[in-house]
Amino acid sequence: MELWPWLTAALLGLLLLLRLHRAANFYAKLALYCALCLAVSALASLVCLLRHGGRTVENMSIISWFVRTFKYAYGLRFEVRGRPKLDVDQPCVIISNHQSILDMMGLMEVLPRRCVQVAKRELLFLGPVGLVMYLGGVFFISRQQSSTAISVMADLSERMVRENLKVWIYPEGTRNTNGDLLPFKKGAFHLAIQAQVPIIPVVYSSFASFYNIDTKLFTSGIIRVEVLDAVPTHGLTVADVPRLMDTCHQAMRSTFLRMSKPAPENGVAEGPAAQ
């Protein structure tokens, strides 16, 4: 019995289902994203080991190249303003808002040289994903063991100055899809003050127009990214942490709300052209 007509019909039926049924399309794209993460992490880990032989921040450029290809599979486009502000040749703490698992694409799109991330320790055990993060020099902290987290951050403070590292942190501490910014946690600001390095805020516009886990929406779209001016910490002490947090939160929140407004119906872009 000839199977090809049945296979063709089944494939066409599946494609039609994905096109017509929003939830099916959402979960299919999400599953593909997870599969891409696993496959690309395994391949990138191999390249990192062959190129540099082990754990080093230099592997981040390799990882970034692989992850930046994801946007083509999903029809996503990034419009970035202020990118040169990230290319300073000095250690700094970079903070950004945290919305979904897609944030990894946004991070890698603008990741500067010699930049590492701080991530929860649980990610270390996600097979090839944990391996490639380890090889890229990611610092893992345990949310359940505050004393260990403090020790890791203290070590990181010394290393970022000694090795001229930039450190990327999500100060909200968790993913947030409520259309606003959550209150910031203190870790990134303690780190910047302890190391006496500037903080560079990076803001991503809302994903809600193309990615929404509640309504099962996952389509193509535009992600606007804006790098804000560096906030100096020279001369600040632990007593200045609340004021520093508030300054950064206000600047990022106002930028996020402005950037996340729907585009004008006539299609005219707001502001100057993206870099």
Provide the CATH number for the domain formed by 11-259 in this structure: 3.40.1130
pLDDT of residue 261: 79
* Position 176 pLDDT exceeds 90: no
* Position 230 pLDDT exceeds 70: yes
| Three-point CA angle 44, 84, 254, nearest 5° | 100
- Assigned token pair, 15: 């494609």
Q: Comparing 1-10, 29-38, 126-135, 200-209, which segment has the lowest mean pLDDT?
A: 1-10
- Assigned token pair, 230: 């560096």
The separation between the first and the last C-alpha atoms of the chain, rounded to the nearest angstrom, is 58
* Position 188 pLDDT exceeds 60: yes
Who wins on pLDDT, 17 or 25? 25
CB neighbour list of residue 19: distance below 8 Å, 6 or more residues apart: 25
pLDDT of residue 273: 39
**101-145 tens-digit pLDDT:** 899 999 999 999 999 999 888 889 999 999 999 999 999 987 666
User: For residues 67 and 146, what is the distance between their CA atoms, to the nearest angstrom?
Assistant: 31
Average pLDDT for the chain? 87
